[in-house]
A and B are shown apart, each in its own frame.
Chain A
Amino acid sequence: MRADGHRRLTLALLLVVAAAAAPAGAQTVRVSPTAMNVLLGSDRRLTATVDGAANTAVMWAVNGIPGGNASVGTIDATGLYTAPRSAVAGSRVGVHAVSFANPAASATCVVTLVNPMPSVTRINPNPVPLGRFTLQVTGSNFVPGAQLLWNANPLPTVFQSATLLTATGVATLTLPAAIAVANPGPGATSVPYVLSVVAAAPTRTGPIATATAIRVGTQTPTRRPESTRTLTSTATSSPLRTATSTRAATETMTRIPATATATRIATNTQRPPSTETPRPAATATASAPPTLTATATRQATETATRLASTATPTTVMATATNSARPPSTATPRPTATATASAPPTLAATMMPSPMRTATATMMMSATARTEASRTVMPTTTGSPARTRTATPSAAPSVAVHVAPAAANLQPGASQQFQATVTGTANQAVVWQVNATPGGDSSVGTITNAGLYTAPASAPSMGFVTVSAVSAANGAARGSAMVAIQDPLAVTYGRFLDQATFGPTQALTAHVAQIGIPAFIDEQFAMPESPWPALDTAQRSDAVDAFFANALAGQDQLRQRVIYALSEIIVEAMNKNTNGDEIVPWLQLLSRNAFGNYRTLLKEITLDASMGKYLDLANSGLSGGAPNENFPREVMQLFSIGLYQLNLDGSVQVDAHNVPIATYTQADVQQMAKALTGWTYGNSSGTPPSYGNFNYYPGPMLPVAAYHNTSAKTILGHPLPANQSIQQDLDGAIDIIFQHPNVGPFLATRLIRALVTSNPSPAYIARVATAFNGNGTRGDMQAVIRAILLDPEARNDAPPANFGRLRTPMQHTIALARALGLDLGPADQFAYLFYDMNEGLLDAASVFGHYSPSYHIPMTPLFGPEFQIYAASDAVDRANLFYGFMYSPWPINPVLQPFVNVAADPAALVNAVDQALLYGRMLPATRAALLTALPAMPDDNARALTALYLTSMSGEYLVEH
């Protein structure tokens, strides 16, 4: 059963052989239902009916794999389909029934894999008190990624098991809440479960103690019995220096978000009177040489949430806390003191966390020493007292100082650094760049003597850290920050936005090294990225290859031109439903992207996949008028357009100011006659004497007997009677190709697809002139060079109307390339592109995903890509990007470099600016980000905020 590859090949072979041998009057297969939802792991039965054959047996396959497999689901001989146990909810597979009698006859049921509908049977606590809560939700059919919905609002949810979820939130109203659980994917939300919310404050017993917990003022206190604990930590750093910190702290059992220090007073006034409890005290003493003293600072820190990563510790000074408490006659305020008789400072930090642990950190610093610390984490729940002793190891006395502490360099430039080691006679250091000894080509290199050389192009973050590590003590190090700004970052970034699917650091470095013209030449010579083999290609293979080549192909310029051409010469999977019906088109565009446009026009005319898509296959062979679909579109959409154009793309008008049409219905009919007599190929490649059934490898074949041999006149040019089918083909192609419209027509479309939606007429004329050529007409390399090297494209300070909106695919891929996101196979998320109006390889019509002449609403500006960027598209795009960025929760690991600098908002914004906007971020955007970042609960949230908002900003949406 595991020989899927072999079986798949066998089926494909069968299909090919059968297609070649299929008799006329073919059988038909129908499958019922034609579409259905199937729960992951469950089964549904399909029925197939075969008409027109005595043998009504069918073979079953899933995504072309006979019998299916574990990843797409299996199907048995009776048509019982069993969905895979796990898959992306909402993804689709095709279940095919193939006639035994005629394997060319098949039918497909589109199966959407959905998660089971969860159910909720119990919620604990119920009722839930006002304020912050953690719910334990018991039920069934929970799957990883299940989301708890509180009155339809999602709460941070943790999947514990198929029957248990936990979720946290804040209840603010004493109204019943509808709780539902939504499994990922469509149609998998449970029936709501009603949860009561109450204001009751539980009774309190036990001793009252000082409250170091924090409450949000809007909430009714729900204190539970409190515990008292005493923490004593003693730190001994060396025989000469000891520090003892004693703290008697009391913690509440209930944790309310730690963000509201100012509201604590209100909370406490609502507490029952406290009379009996002495306040705890925290002291830290350290004995050391008497001339030295140190102060100890005690801090209480609590996190708001234990489980969600959004909660960040908030630090509260102990003294402030105590001053805010209600009067308590018996109790002295807790105090935190530390005396340290060590050089020169000793700080003791107490950090109780919501897990009821306390962290006591003893930090000692001295000019000649680096810090030493010990962390103790006592568990204190319910315990009256806990004692822990922290004993710092002997503090290293070695320190390293690097000068200069900061530097600004251009790529490739050098800077000498000096290291000074104190506390030891050994002055030797090991130099590192971003923690890599000696550095490397991407972060820059540094010699043993401290001579740093920046990388050839700016690193994606915009800076590196140079460190010197003491050879005597590896814990002792000094560092300097080096900002590396490429003055040409905008030049290369803009160019790569136009010529590729977006810059990467390596590609930018390469262009910086060899220059833009040489890069274009190099790309012209680059081998094509591979496409799926026709005999096995599934729809998903085609989508995956199209996306993966654009994302990671070395032939970036070719991929970008293929993408541009795919919106001019369109095929779509809603008609060409199978992989082998769409891949030939991609191969053709790839093969001809840098060739001659006449070759492209002729090959697309004869291409079997286009023969199906626009119905030229078997035109003239089946009676009736010659099919006009392709003959019309090859003129209107692929070559000359509707109206006579001037060289600069402007429309020619008659005396009444009416645009002059390029062709008439009669021209379409004449063209249709000239293109009669072509049928699908076959495995032998010999021209048949009758029409073939669908067969996609290779070009269509002529059936001379069915060619219309009358005289034709197309666009005023005659094709004499009795020409051969090949002569008429070449003649018709030449008539189109030689039309003066092709240059300005194609120039306008390609400039819009690559560079800017509103090129100047002069720019169009220059590119059209390149198309018309000096002897060689239609040279695509000359056209592409003219587009990309034009002064209008290369002007790094472009005018106000310059630029084009990135399409969903281009935007997604540019972001992935800039940030190093690994998106996985595109077919897993391709369905989301339908929501964004860019179903991959699946435009709604031959007009493509958007019209090249679409105007931005309420403006005179062209903006073709704006046709698929409405409000709903913007949010869909934003949510797709956010998913890529935060997953796996809490943040995609490739974004860690941004997290690492997020403590410094300016450094974070610079890094994002460098990575996405080449240092061009507008001051207003920068200001908005810098305003928002301090409100974020942690570094992950800061990094996500800066990256997410920038990725969806107009500055990044528009290549400009």
Chain B
Amino acid sequence: MTTEYGISRRSFLQLGASLGMVLGLGGFRWARAAAAVSDYKALVCLFMFGGNDGHNTVVPLESAQYNAYVAARSALALPQNQLLPIADPVQGAFGLHYAMPELQALYTQNKLAVIANVGMLVQPTSYAQFNAPGFPLPLNLRSHADQVVQMQTGVPNASGSTGWGGRTVDVMEATYGYNSSTAFPVAISMEAPALFCEGAIVQNVSLQPGNDLDQDAMNLYPPAAAQARAAAQAQMVSTSSGNTMIDAANHVMANALALNPLLKSAAGSVVFQKPFPSTDIGNQLADIARVISLNAQLSVGRQVFFCSLGGFDTHGGQSYQQWDLLQQVSQALDAFYSATVQLGLSNQVTTFTLSDFGRTLQPSGSGTDHGWGNHHFVLGDAVRGGNIYGRFPLMTNYANFNASRDDYADGRGVMLPVASLAQYGATLGRWFGAADADLSAIFPTLPNFGASDLGFLS
């Protein structure tokens, strides 16, 4: 029987049987034969490295706000007739950057939500508190090196060695017994390791698009020689040595040997009806979609993914650069969402964005400088889409900054976050299956905030 994705159950079971033979280690398995997990869920993080300029990603269209925006942004302001209209039932009319017609359509179909002005916070912070000596603030705001770490660790006031994605899956495994029937990677970053995926229990496995864990040494002629070399390796890494550390090291290579054909089969198994754009981020999301397509066969219950796109540090030449990058994001997310629909998993896969920080509203030459709070997107059928969550900063408050002190942290229009990353992540984590107590452990600052659920997921 062949599934719609092209991998037959039988061939998978045969594969499993042969792996069992090859690996032979006590208790080792990719998946217990037929223990399919019925409620698979995946969280997919798209990180925009460099700090995306949220001010030009979502723009208010209501005339007073738009005029204030133009006044603040001057040459960087996007023309009103080019912005792609979206509406929030409460906060009114907005426009997405003209690079993102696909996301506009998804927003209109209620598949996409905007989460306004999210950022790293230790606790709710007003402008006065921000400027009060000794008030607890995230370490090293506006520093790329520190903020990309904090966004992934979810810890604003200390360093950390694990990421909130990894910790969330840790909880799902340790407390709720997910993934107990699989040894397939459950925290996967594309192209490079990501702190986000590192857990105390789960291990970040990084995959490169198109790299199926082939060993160069197995590309040997004649085929019989390659087979002999591979067979010897399989035997070596599956034989108990009498030393647990050696066995554990061998176990990792055994994982790679078993993963290799699975990734190969995943690569060829699915033909996505809506082709992925052949961009870097498109390739990453295509690979994620292929791995997701294997979830049932592999009895994976909960999985987190991390993909990324760099170049958002637009200190200069922002107009072209941000258009170029946002259209890549929009097209890739659109293809990815379609793929989840095709796989029948669009209600079980939620995709969200992160970035180092937002940027200044006031331009600097042809670009903008490092900021703090930022707008983000969440995508999927579980998302209560078509809404903007959180108070969208008023451009008029920037115009009156000296008087109002609302929404902004300084005179250059750096957004003072109204929602913390901890709340944003906890909302995603609750949908994933974590309870309040779990979420407070995953996000140590979460108890400092009144609401632990921003409401954008059903």
Interface residues of A (CB under 8 A from B): 30, 32-35, 47, 49, 51, 153-154, 156, 257, 259, 304-305, 308, 310-311, 574-575, 615, 623-625, 628-629, 632-633, 637, 669, 757, 798, 800-805, 834-835, 837, 844-848, 850-851, 854-857, 859, 861, 863, 866-875, 878-879, 882-883, 922, 924-925, 927-929, 931-937, 941, 944-945, 948-949, 952-955, 957-958, 960
Do B222 and A310 touch across chains, with their CB atoms under 8 A apart? yes
Do A633 and B159 touch across chains, with their CB atoms under 8 A apart? yes
- With A859-B244, A928-B236 known as contacts, the answer to whether A867 contacts B198 (CB < 8 A) is yes
The answer to whether the Cβ of B228 comes within 8 Å of any Cβ in the partner chain is yes
A49 to B315, CA, bound (A): 10
Residue from the list B139, B159, B192, B225 in contact with A936, Cβ < 8 A: B225
How far apart are A592's CB and chain B's nearest CB, in angstroms? 23
Do A871 and B213 touch across chains, with their CB atoms under 8 A apart? yes
A953 to B239, CA, bound (A): 11
Q: Which of B40-48, B203-211, B395-403, B423-431 contacts A (4 or more CB under 8 A)?
A: B203-211
CB contacts (< 8 Å) of B229 on chain A: these are 932, 935-936, 945, 948-949
Do B245 and A928 touch across chains, with their CB atoms under 8 A apart? no
CB contacts (< 8 Å) of A848 on chain B: these are 161
CB contacts (< 8 Å) of B201 on chain A: these are 855, 857
1/0 per residue, CB under 8 A from A, across B154-165: the answer is 000011111000
- With A872-B205, A872-B206, A958-B249 known as contacts, the answer to whether A941 contacts B220 (CB < 8 A) is yes
Do B222 and A845 touch across chains, with their CB atoms under 8 A apart? no
Residue from the list B162, B208, B228 in contact with A932, Cβ < 8 A: B228
- Show 27 A/B contacts (Cβ-Cβ < 8 Å), sorted by A: A30-B315, A30-B316, A32-B317, A310-B222, A623-B133, A629-B139, A757-B245, A798-B243, A803-B246, A805-B248, A834-B192, A845-B160, A847-B160, A847-B161, A851-B162, A859-B248, A861-B245, A861-B248, A863-B245, A866-B248, A866-B249, A869-B249, A871-B256, A922-B239, A922-B242, A948-B217, A958-B249
Residue from the list A624, A857, A929, A960 in contact with B245, Cβ < 8 A: A960
1/0 per residue, CB under 8 A from A, across B189-219: the answer is 0001101001011111111100101111101
- With A30-B315, A871-B255, A948-B217 known as contacts, the answer to whether A960 contacts B243 (CB < 8 A) is yes
Interface residues of B (CB under 8 A from A): 50, 133-135, 139-140, 143, 145-146, 149, 153, 158-162, 185, 192-193, 195, 198, 200-208, 211, 213-217, 219-222, 224-225, 227-229, 231-233, 235-237, 239, 241-250, 252-253, 255-256, 259-260, 310-311, 313, 315-317, 321, 364-367
How far apart are B258's CB and chain A's nearest CB, in angstroms? 8
Do A924 and B235 touch across chains, with their CB atoms under 8 A apart? yes
Residue from the list B203, B211, B246 in contact with A870, Cβ < 8 A: B203
Do B140 and A629 touch across chains, with their CB atoms under 8 A apart? yes
How far apart are B249's CB and chain A's nearest CB, in angstroms? 4
A177 to B149, CA, bound (A): 45
Do A928 and B232 touch across chains, with their CB atoms under 8 A apart? yes
A32 to B249, CA, bound (A): 44
How far apart are A510's CB and chain B's nearest CB, in angstroms? 28
CB contacts (< 8 Å) of A803 on chain B: these are 243, 245-246
Do B202 and A857 touch across chains, with their CB atoms under 8 A apart? yes
- Interface contacts beyond A868-B193, A875-B214, A935-B224: sample of 9 additional A-B pairs, CB < 8 Å, sorted by A: A311-B221, A628-B139, A844-B195, A854-B200, A882-B215, A924-B239, A931-B228, A941-B225, A954-B249
CB contacts (< 8 Å) of A259 on chain B: these are 222, 224
CB contacts (< 8 Å) of A933 on chain B: these are 228
Residue in B closest to A50 when the chains form the complex, CB atoms:
B365
Do A957 and B246 touch across chains, with their CB atoms under 8 A apart? yes
Residue in A closest to B203 when the chains form the complex, CB atoms:
A870
- With A871-B252, A935-B228 known as contacts, the answer to whether A845 contacts B159 (CB < 8 A) is yes
Count: A-B pairs, CB below 8 Å: 243
Residue in B closest to A216 when the chains form the complex, CB atoms:
B222
Do A882 and B217 touch across chains, with their CB atoms under 8 A apart? yes
A798 to B244, CA, bound (A): 12
How far apart are A403's CB and chain B's nearest CB, in angstroms? 38
Residue in B closest to A957 when the chains form the complex, CB atoms:
B249
Residue in B closest to A48 when the chains form the complex, CB atoms:
B316
A874 to B203, CA, bound (A): 13
A805 to B250, CA, bound (A): 11
Give the residue among A875, A924, A960 with the most B Cβ atoms within 10 A. Answer: A875
How far apart are B179's CB and chain A's nearest CB, in angstroms? 11
How far apart are B187's CB and chain A's nearest CB, in angstroms? 9
Do A949 and B236 touch across chains, with their CB atoms under 8 A apart? yes
Residue from the list A305, A669, A863, A875 in contact with B221, Cβ < 8 A: A305
Do B185 and A871 touch across chains, with their CB atoms under 8 A apart? yes
Do B231 and A805 touch across chains, with their CB atoms under 8 A apart? no
How far apart are B336's CB and chain A's nearest CB, in angstroms? 21
CB contacts (< 8 Å) of A845 on chain B: these are 149, 153, 159-161, 195
Do B237 and A954 touch across chains, with their CB atoms under 8 A apart? yes
Residue from the list B145, B222, B249 in contact with A304, Cβ < 8 A: B222
Residue in B closest to A806 when the chains form the complex, CB atoms:
B249
Residue from the list A153, A874, A936, A954 in contact with B256, Cβ < 8 A: A874
Residue from the list A574, A837, A931 in contact with B232, Cβ < 8 A: A931
Residue in B closest to A615 when the chains form the complex, CB atoms:
B140
Do B231 and A932 touch across chains, with their CB atoms under 8 A apart? yes
Residue from the list A804, A834, A867 in contact with B203, Cβ < 8 A: A867
CB contacts (< 8 Å) of A802 on chain B: these are 243, 245
Residue from the list B207, B221, B244 in contact with A937, Cβ < 8 A: B221
Residue from the list A32, A632, A669, A944 in contact with B158, Cβ < 8 A: A632
A837 to B243, CA, bound (A): 25
Do B161 and A878 touch across chains, with their CB atoms under 8 A apart? no
Do A937 and B245 touch across chains, with their CB atoms under 8 A apart? no
- With A257-B222, A844-B195, A871-B256 known as contacts, the answer to whether A800 contacts B215 (CB < 8 A) is no
Do B245 and A953 touch across chains, with their CB atoms under 8 A apart? no
Residue in B closest to A865 when the chains form the complex, CB atoms:
B249
A941 to B246, CA, bound (A): 26
CB contacts (< 8 Å) of A954 on chain B: these are 236-237, 241, 243, 245-250, 253
A941 to B153, CA, bound (A): 46
Do A49 and B245 touch across chains, with their CB atoms under 8 A apart? no
Closest 10 CB pairs of A and B: A935-B228, A932-B232, A954-B250, A954-B246, A871-B256, A847-B161, A575-B145, A954-B249, A924-B239, A310-B221
CB contacts (< 8 Å) of A34 on chain B: these are 50, 311, 313, 315
- With A857-B202, A872-B213, A952-B253 known as contacts, the answer to whether A863 contacts B248 (CB < 8 A) is yes
Do A835 and B192 touch across chains, with their CB atoms under 8 A apart? yes
Give the residue among A257, A308, A874 with the most B Cβ atoms within 10 A. Answer: A874
Residue from the list B214, B227, B245, B310 in contact with A35, Cβ < 8 A: B310
Residue from the list B203, B237, B245 in contact with A958, Cβ < 8 A: B245
CB contacts (< 8 Å) of A844 on chain B: these are 149, 193, 195
How far apart are A615's CB and chain B's nearest CB, in angstroms? 6
A779 to B438, CA, bound (A): 43
A467 to B367, CA, bound (A): 77
Residue in A closest to B311 when the chains form the complex, CB atoms:
A35
CB contacts (< 8 Å) of B145 on chain A: these are 574-575
Do B236 and A801 touch across chains, with their CB atoms under 8 A apart? no
Residue in A closest to B134 when the chains form the complex, CB atoms:
A625
Do B215 and A804 touch across chains, with their CB atoms under 8 A apart? no
A857 to B232, CA, bound (A): 25
Do A960 and B232 touch across chains, with their CB atoms under 8 A apart? no
Do A953 and B250 touch across chains, with their CB atoms under 8 A apart? yes
CB contacts (< 8 Å) of A859 on chain B: these are 244, 248
How far apart are A675's CB and chain B's nearest CB, in angstroms? 15
Do B253 and A33 touch across chains, with their CB atoms under 8 A apart? no
Residue from the list A154, A574, A953 in contact with B237, Cβ < 8 A: A953
A632 to B316, CA, bound (A): 36
How far apart are B441's CB and chain A's nearest CB, in angstroms? 14
CB contacts (< 8 Å) of B246 on chain A: these are 803, 954-955, 957-958, 960
How far apart are A162's CB and chain B's nearest CB, in angstroms? 24
Residue in B closest to A834 when the chains form the complex, CB atoms:
B192
How far apart are B328's CB and chain A's nearest CB, in angstroms? 15
CB contacts (< 8 Å) of B202 on chain A: these are 857
How far apart are B408's CB and chain A's nearest CB, in angstroms? 18
